[in-house]
Amino acid sequence: MAKIFQVTARAGMTRVVEPVARRLLRAGVTPNTVTVTGTLGVLVGALGFGARGHLVAGALIVTVFALTDLLDGTMARMSGGSTRFGAFLDSSMDRVADSAVFGAVAYYLATEGDQAGAAAALLCLAAGGLVSYVKARAEGLGLTCNVGIAERTERLLIVGVGGLLAGLGLKVALPVALWLLAAVSIFTVGQRMAHVYRQAQQLPTASGGQG
């Protein structure tokens, strides 16, 4: 059911994003420019607003600019496919943006005296990085790893909704969202590792070190 919802939601977003992508390409804007702009926007929303306690503004700004992750990919596809540097830049900027979001949330909750919530934010940051690393490492070994209930878009959506509700007065929503996100992120790591393990069992032993 979750996978069906993901596919449906992404299909709906694609119909919205594609016209924007076409206009930007006609204007001479490159996917890499959109990638960097989106990351800068997330940094402003997270560090400039969220970390200072302006949760509603921070959540809205981060959400809007996080959607550029769909936009730059669509632009790359329309212009003939992503370059190797474009793919590298996109992944790198995603890690920068995620670090800013969860670092800002952890800082805010720590200043509010919610140490457990701050710990949950740091756990989300670590687990989210591991989710991405497992996929990257698997693909580097020639395997596929397109599975998991909590990919990057879903993770940002969960923390964004929690931040928005907290900014509107439901303070408990943010730590609850973070603990939920930590749980689903760890579960996603397990899903991906199990998926890769099943593939690896059917292949010859790979050379190379561990670690």
- The answer to whether the CB of 171 falls within 8 A of the CB of 108 is no
Active site (annotated) includes residue 94: yes
AA letter at 18: E
DSSP letter string, 161-180: HHHHHHHTT-TTHHHHHHHH
Q: How far is CA 45 from the centre of its chain?
A: 15
Lookup result for tokens 């940002």: 156
Q: How long a stretch of residues is the chain?
A: 211
First-to-last alpha carbon distance for the chain, in angstroms, is 35
Distance CA 206, CA 196 (A): 13
* Per annotation, catalytic residue among 72, 94, 98, 114: 94
CA within 13 Å, CB half, 121 = 26
Distance CA 91, CA 72 (A): 12
Catalytic residue IDs: 94
